[in-house]
Amino acid sequence: MSYQASPAEIKRAQHLHAVLLFDFIVVHVFVFILALSLVKTSYLPLILMPLFSVGALGYVMVKAKQALTREPCWFVRCHMILAGRRARMFLALFAVTGAFTAVMFFGGGKIGLSPIASLSLAFGLGQLPFMASLLVLIVMEFDAEHQCKSGKIPAAALALHPAPKEG
């Protein structure tokens, strides 16, 4: 659905999409690769990655919640609510797969698994579905940000926050 949005409204609506894209691409792709390359020497990137991500996702969710009551523009509210919903979904996915990966990576040997089996479970069953979902979310967020620049509201955002009734 098209909407006649001002440049200021477009900028406000894009903000949370940009934060999510930063979290998805920089934190979860680049920092994850850094963490894998440094895992033998330091666990610091493995510790910092979830902290940065939870901080960014929390920020998006709080701003989306505030948009319901404080944002006067319906176009901006739609985009913010959509970003908040995706952040909640991603946080749940991150928590479940992260907990499974951590248990298998750090505790696989303690439950009787060989080191190869525990690494296979940690990264095969733990991180592979997460990374595939992350790729889908990156594409969806790029599309939402592009639609935001064009003054359009995605169908998913319309389903979450329908147009106000006039009159």
| Domain assignment present for 14 | yes
| Domain assignment present for 166 | no
Into how many domains does the chain fold? 1
| Domain assignment present for 164 | no
- Dist. CA 43–CA 14, nearest whole Å: 34
| Domain assignment present for 162 | no
The reported pLDDT for the residue numbered 167 is 39
Rounded average pLDDT per 10-residue block, the chain, 167 residues: 80 93 92 84 85 95 93 88 94 91 87 88 85 93 91 83 66
Question: Positive or negative CA dihedral for 129, 134, 137, 139?
Answer: negative
The reported pLDDT for the residue numbered 127 is 83
First to last CA, the chain: 20
| Domain assignment present for 64 | yes
Place of tokens 């979830």: 50
Closest CA to 98 of 60, 59, 125: 125
| Domain assignment present for 121 | yes
What is the maximum span of the chain, computed from C-alpha positions, in angstroms? 68
The reported pLDDT for the residue numbered 45 is 81
Q: What pTM did the predictor assign?
A: 0.85
CA distances from 94 to 42, 104, 117, 135, 158 (A): 22, 15, 22, 13, 26
| Domain assignment present for 22 | yes
Q: Which domain holds residue 144?
A: 7-157
If you compute the radius of gyration of the chain from its CA atoms, what whole number of angstroms results?
19
> What is the 3-class SS of 39-89, one letter each residue?
CCCCCHHHHHHHHHHHHHHHHHHHHHHHHHHHCCCHHHHHHHHHHHHHHHH
